[in-house]
Amino acid sequence: MTDLLANLALGFGVAFSPANLGFCMLGTIVGTLIGVLPGVGPLATIAMLLPITFGLPPVGALIMLAGIYYGSQYGGSTTSILVNIPGEAASVVTTLDGHQMALQGRAGPALAIAAIGSFFAGCVATVLVAALGAPLTSVALLFGPAEYFSLMVLGLIFAVVLAKGSVIKALCMILLGLMLSMIGSDIETGQSRMSFDIPEMADGIGFVTVAMGVFGFAEIMRNLEHTSSRDVVKAKLTGLMPTWPDLKACAPAIGRGTLLGSILGILPGGGAVIAAFAAYTFEKKVAKDPSRFGRGAIEGVAAPESANNAASQTSFIPLLTLGIPPNAVMALMVGAMTIHGIVPGPQVMTKQPELFWGMIASMWIGNAMLVVINLPLVGVWVRLLRVPYRMLYPAIMIFCCIGVYSINNSPFDVLMTASFGLVGYWLAKHDFEPAPMLLGFVLGPLMEENLRRAMLIARGDPTTFLTRPISAGLLALATLLLVIALLPMIRAKREQVFVED
């Protein structure tokens, strides 16, 4: 306990430095902004900003990127409630009851409950990150190459099980991601693989190129299809604070959403989107009168907003302790850490405690900043929504292209990003979930390295993965999960979670 307090004191010392407070503030403001603007998710934004972090100190850069991620969960609720357009994928569910409340003249309480639920969930999730950090790090230090390989296999299977839609399609996306990660030079021999004698591909395909294309460009193309009118709630926002009955109705929903989000955030392949859907579905199941949902039930705002915020923060646990990204945004954080020469995993906590604890402390500060940024500035965000789409997207495209070009000063990278944009668009149109592909792409090199190390240590004996207890247990769990996900009854249930009337 004393160690934890000492570490938190170190973290707050780092987070309260003027520069890091500035980065935290900037991250939360940018996060709120991209949460508010439809079609620009945290994934595309963090991918765009990766090149900018080159010149920043590592702690400041990661504090800012983390702020963007959990800040976007707050901002997404504003557009969902006021405009009925989810600014961010995790806020899709909030539109169902949030906008109905706004139409009934209760936009103020809806926004306030979203902020209160998010703040509570964020604080609980940050406590969890701090509490689970040390025990998980000590467990991770027991892992050898065979255990790490099996853990990554389990992570990818989780991504398949929790992905939206067909299990077979999700498996195909994982395999595509693993295949893309192998392009370039062999990690042991340096032999060129699948580069087709193109010099620019000798070092492989850049992570930002894939992420920006599949998520940034493809998302813009999809949004340009929808010429949806923005029915911004014109009425003046009054009575921002929820009433006592509202708070009493929401308290259990916020608690359940926080718990569900915290668990789903830690699981590989989970994340804020799944947490929000699961929390809403669960609230509907436990409600005395489920017919209220979709007509302005305040619990339908409180539960998903709490869940997506809790999930966005607990997803840092596997990243910082095991070095394994549980979702696509955390995969980008791996990219950001690599840029600064930081190897994500158990070594971060022991070798760079100021980075680990500084980030955790900054999450508390960031959550407090977000409540202040969101409620008083609702008017500013609503005005931003009146900017026409046609003016917004060219600017986003230009910034994307500048960001990609600036990494290697390579026009080839911009063309590759555009190509991946077309691929991402095609995948979206054919109901392929691109997030498992990005996880496969990030984990591919790590899996290959650990597979080879394990085989070298075992002198080429593949049974080493089954004779080591932890490794065998992880592989058995992965197999069990895949078998369960393929059962017809479970497949039907999985599809229901993502469908809302």
Kindly report, residue by residue over 208-266, the tens digit of the pLDDT.
Answer: 788 778 877 887 787 777 655 555 555 555 556 777 888 888 899 999 999 999 988 88
Q: Is 398 exposed, middle or buried (0-12, 13-18, 19+ CB in 10 A)?
A: exposed
At 192, is the secondary structure helix, strand, or coil? strand
User: What pLDDT, on the 0 to 100 scale, is given for residue 215?
Assistant: 73
Confidence of residue 500 (pLDDT cuts 50, 70, 90): very low
Tokens in use for 457?
């240590």
Residue 121 exposed, middle or buried by CB count within 10 Å (0-12, 13-18, 19+)? buried
pLDDT of residue 209: 83
220 contacts: CB under 8 Å, gap ≥ 6: 39, 393, 396, 397, 421
Q: Which two tokens stand for residue 6?
A: 């000492």
pLDDT in tens, 184-198: 888 777 788 888 888
pLDDT band at 316 (very low <50, low <70, confident <90, very high): confident
Instruction: Domain ranges for the chain, please list them.
Output: 1-140+148-235+256-498
Please give the average per-residue pLDDT across 48-70, as a whole number: 85
Neighbouring C-beta atoms of residue 194, cutoff 10 Å: 12
In 171-238, beta strands by DSSP E: 184-185, 192-193
Q: What is the mean pLDDT of the chain?
A: 81
Answer for the pair 320, 139: CB distance below 8 angstroms, yes or no. no
Tell whether pTM > 0.85: no
Which of 124-133, 258-267, 381-390, 397-406 is the least confident region?
A: 381-390
What are the backbone dihedrals phi and psi of residue 185, each rounded to the nearest 5 degrees, phi first?
Answer: -95, 145
* pLDDT in the model for residue 25: 93
Residue 501 predicted with pLDDT over 50 = no
